[in-house]
Structure 1
Amino acid sequence: MYLIINHSSMQPIYEQIVEQIKEKIINGEFSEEMMLPSVRTMAKDLKISALTVKKAYDALTEEGFVVTVHGKGSFVACANQNMLLEEKKKEVEAELEAAIHKGRSCGLTDHDLTELFEIVLEG
């Protein structure tokens, strides 16, 4: 499994792992019931603590993206289309919020932003 860890990022390493695995699941790169590397293997490959990987896997399990079977490993959960759609909506919402913030910092009014959004939407 290919993940990129940015050690100089302000984002905790376990969150980086969670985001990247979720993205791969949402984009279909990881199929349902696919086995993830063991905690120890992932920790060794990424040169990080096994506790960090365990925390990431626990977060993924809590969010419903991964199912862990004691003694067998962690697997991609059966896709819940509503959950995946909600995650994609959250991503779009975050990007729209960033665009609005950037527009406002450039002096655009809400009316300007709305007009710009409608133009882009039609395009």
Structure 2
Amino acid sequence: MNIILSNASSDPIYIQIMNQIRQSILSGEMVAGDSLPSIRQLAKDLQVSVITTKRAYEELEKEQLIDSVVGKGCFVSGANKEFIREQRMKRLEEKMMDIINESKELLMTKQDVIDHLTLLFEEE
């Protein structure tokens, strides 16, 4: 597993770690039962605080992407990928509702929002 951190990113370090591990799992690069580096080892490898890696692992465990086994470490969960995807879609929809509400407060039309989203999507 190769995690690359960016100081230029607006995302906190633990989010960058989470996103890259999540992507490895959902893409099939890592499969159920694969072990992850220990919290301490990952912190050492990335030269970050143990608290940072611990938080990333805790969040991934909340998403049911990894399982933590006391005394043995953390492993990729055998959870159903469709269930996990559905959970992520629900969170995305909540964020989209926030965007819709904010855009209404700014008196933006539906087309304004679509145009702006399209522009941002193409920039990425």
TM superposition score normalised by structure 2: 0.69
Structure with bigger gyration radius: 1
Structure 1 residue 88, shift from structure 2 partner: 7.1
AA aligned to 2:73 is G
RMSD: 2.9
Paired residues, number: 103
> What's the counterpart of residue 44 of structure 1?
44
Matched residues in 1 for 2:26 and 2:87: separation? Answer: 8
Superposed, 1:1-123 pairs within 5 Å as 1-86=1-86, 89=89, 110=111
Matched residues in 1 for 2:63 and 2:70: separation? Answer: 18
- Secondary structure, aligned partner of 1:64: coil
TM superposition score normalised by structure 1: 0.69
- Secondary structure, aligned partner of 2:68: strand
Matched residues in 2 for 1:4 and 1:53: separation? Answer: 13
- Secondary structure, aligned partner of 1:51: helix
- Secondary structure, aligned partner of 1:25: helix
Q: 1:15 to 1:63 in 2, by over 3 A?
A: same
Structure 1 residue 87, shift from structure 2 partner: 6.1
Cα contact 2:38–2:73 (8 A) shared by 1: yes
Any runs of at least 4 consecutive aligned residues in structure 1 with deviations exceeding 3 A, and if so which?
87-90
Matched residues in 2 for 1:19 and 1:83: separation? Answer: 18
Q: 1:79 to 1:3 in 2, by over 3 A?
A: same
Matched residues in 1 for 2:3 and 2:64: separation? Answer: 20
